[in-house]
Chain A
Amino acid sequence: MLEFQFASLAAFCEMAPHGVYVWPTYGLGLLVLGGLTLANVRQHRRAIRMIQRNLERE
């Protein structure tokens, strides 16, 4: 059941004739998940920095 479905790695990358549709879709998916993860990390850091600044000011 678990068999590589393509003749070669090159054929896998080409995924004829639909590689141009499949790969960019997965690329975009990766970008969205990665982007949201990064945005969360930055928002968290920004919150901490904001609170630190407020504490220093007091």
Chain B
Amino acid sequence: MGWRWFHQWGSPRWFYERAGRWQLVCGWLALTLLIMGSLWGLALAPVDYQQGNSYRIIYLHVPVAFLAQALYAAMAVCAVVLFVWKMKLADVAMQSIAVMGLAFTALSLISGAVWGKPTWGTYWVWDARLTSMLILAFLYLGVIGLRAAIQDPDQAGKACGILVLVGVVNLPIIKYSVEWWNTLHQPASLKLTEKPAMPASMWIPLLVNIVGYYIAAVYLILGSMRAIVLERERRSAWVRELVSRA
């Protein structure tokens, strides 16, 4: 097998042209899945016998909390690609993912707090899961702030990459926080290796929304990356030609 599939990512132009099409597919797919999953979870999934209707927040909370962590891992992979192959696009991806990651982390913290009020009786506790997620939000903020503080884009990319890689240590802490410490936060609702603890009528819409939010994240990241690619490549011939045609 050739390495073409990998090397073509080295061309911002190749990416810009393809990503527009991918974005269209992802956007409509995400919209369909999210409408389906959310309505299913809100209206058709059975009510929880302990938590009542407040549990319906999980159809938003669980997918965005997954994403918050997955996006950080994706950002770390980009950092490695940037350092090993010096791929420009990896830095663009890092920049885009940081913003989306922060948004999804904030959404997961807020939706969790709102669910916590009727369920635990409080919006916030300094429990290991909640605190490590808050640290994740600060890491995203740090990466965004660091890039904003450094003028030279190449230097900014390298500095952000180092910070991202150091912050990876937080990911296993988040994942295992509910096992290592006695947390108020419940253990994982869904595991790849085990049968879910809830009936299919509850977890199928959750799965639909998880897939929907992941695709929505891809859609958002591609959109943001395309804009950044244009800005960064503004002096290249293909961008000038593209813009003058527009």
Contacts and interface: CB of A to CB of B under 8 A. Distances in A.
Interface residues of B, number: 47
A54 B234 contact: yes
Interface in A1-51: 1-6, 12, 15-19, 21-22, 24-26, 28-29, 32-33, 36-37, 39-41, 43-44, 46-48, 50-51
Q: SS class of chain A's interface: helix, strand, loop or mixed?
A: helix
How many chain A residues sit at the interface, stated as a range, is: 35 or more
Contact of B107 (A21, A28, A37): A28
A55 B240 CA distance: 8
Contacts, number: 107
A36 B100 contact: yes
Interface of B: 34, 38, 40, 42-47, 52-54, 56-57, 60-61, 64, 99-100, 103-104, 106-107, 110-111, 114-115, 117-118, 200-201, 216, 219-220, 223-224, 226-228, 230-231, 234, 239-240, 243-244, 246
Given A25-B111, A28-B111, A18 B64 contact: no
Given A32-B107, A43-B227, A47-B230, A5 B239 contact: no
Given A5-B46, A33-B216, A47-B227, 6 more contacts: A21-B54, A26-B42, A36-B99, A40-B220, A47-B231, A48-B246
